[in-house]
Structure 1
Amino acid sequence: MYAEGTAVSSALARLFGSANGGEALPLSGIRERASKELSQFARIVRADLAPLGIAIPPAISFVSCKQCALTLENEHPQRDAILSWLEGNDRIAKYFKEVEILFEVVRATEHAGELFPEENCFHIGLTSAGPIAYFDSHRCD
């Protein structure tokens, strides 16, 4: 448990830098940072997949849950190639987790005191219109 908390603190420190005079970062700042990191994640994935001949569209949908590792959610025509690229790709998994943490902070702040179902997972969809991030249920297979 300690290592996970340390990893979260470390990720937030990397994303936000050190606090200025102990002032709290406004929610709008966290939202803006989450959006920027989501866009950067999309750019990195597109750049990595382009040499493999994988383009968007069709959309690519990633999901990560407490019960299962980062994986591809949708039935993409090049699913096997994307899963091969994703397998053991610690850089992408780490970046996905950093984006997830930011969106988790936003969600927790917007819905303070609300408990979320365990089956809620974090999703990132890469579409021709741009990336989207959301929480929704998912069943790990």
Structure 2
Amino acid sequence: MNMVGDVEESSALDDGVARFLGASGEDGEVRLSDIRAKAAIELKKYGEDLGALLVQQKITIPPAIQLTSADDGRVAVQGDHPAREQIEAFINGDTRLLKWFKEIEVLFEILRRTELRGAADPQPAQHFNLGLTSLGSIAFFAAR
């Protein structure tokens, strides 16, 4: 399997990706390391911001929260979290949080597709998940 680390770091990415990221390297190119850094920073900031906002809503972590995109474009909470409906309503009712989640999802999808480039099954039936834990946030892919 071709991992992100195996892909040449000096490979320039599409101008559209550069515009999406709002960043470019010293030579005007966006590299995978730029996307990795952006994804990590945004994931951390989103987790901290959402965690603080949920505390204001009297929702605490633990238990951990697993977020994913629903088929209708909304954010859904996976599993049996006791505040599932309240969390979903809160995130989906806040366009900033919803848009930010989608942007993080796109960043990790770009990285994932790069990881799987050249693999026998380049698009396995997995989807993006964002987990909020007491130790911070995590991004991962899981089967539907």
TM tier, smaller: 0.7 to 0.9
Q: Does 1:17 align with 2:23?
A: yes
Q: Does 1:75 align with 2:80?
A: yes
Q: Is the 8 A contact 2:113 2:123 kept in 1?
A: no
SS of 1:76's equivalent? coil
Residue 36 of structure 1 and its aligned partner are, at CA, apart by: 0.6
What fraction of aligned residue pairs are identical, expressed as a percent? 38
Q: Which residue of 2 aligns with 1:37?
A: 42
Residue 93 of structure 1 and its aligned partner are, at CA, apart by: 1.4
Q: Which residue of 1 aligns with 2:3?
A: none
> 1:1-141 to 2 correspondence within 5 Å?
9=16, 13-18=19-24, 20-23=26-29, 25-65=30-70, 67-69=71-73, 70-114=75-119, 115-117=122-124, 119-138=125-144
Q: RMSD value over aligned CA atoms?
A: 2.1
* 1:116 partner letter: Q
Residue 127 of structure 1 and its aligned partner are, at CA, apart by: 0.6
* 2:60 partner letter: A
TM-score by length of 2: 0.75
SS of 1:62's equivalent? strand
SS of 2:96's equivalent? helix
TM-score by length of 1: 0.76
* 1:126 partner letter: L
Residue 22 of structure 1 and its aligned partner are, at CA, apart by: 4.0
Structure 2 unmatched ranges of 5 or more: 1-15
Matched residue count: 126
Residue 17 of structure 1 and its aligned partner are, at CA, apart by: 2.6
Structure 1 unmatched ranges of 5 or more: 1-8
How far, CA to CA, are the matches of 1:12 and 1:96 in structure 2? 19
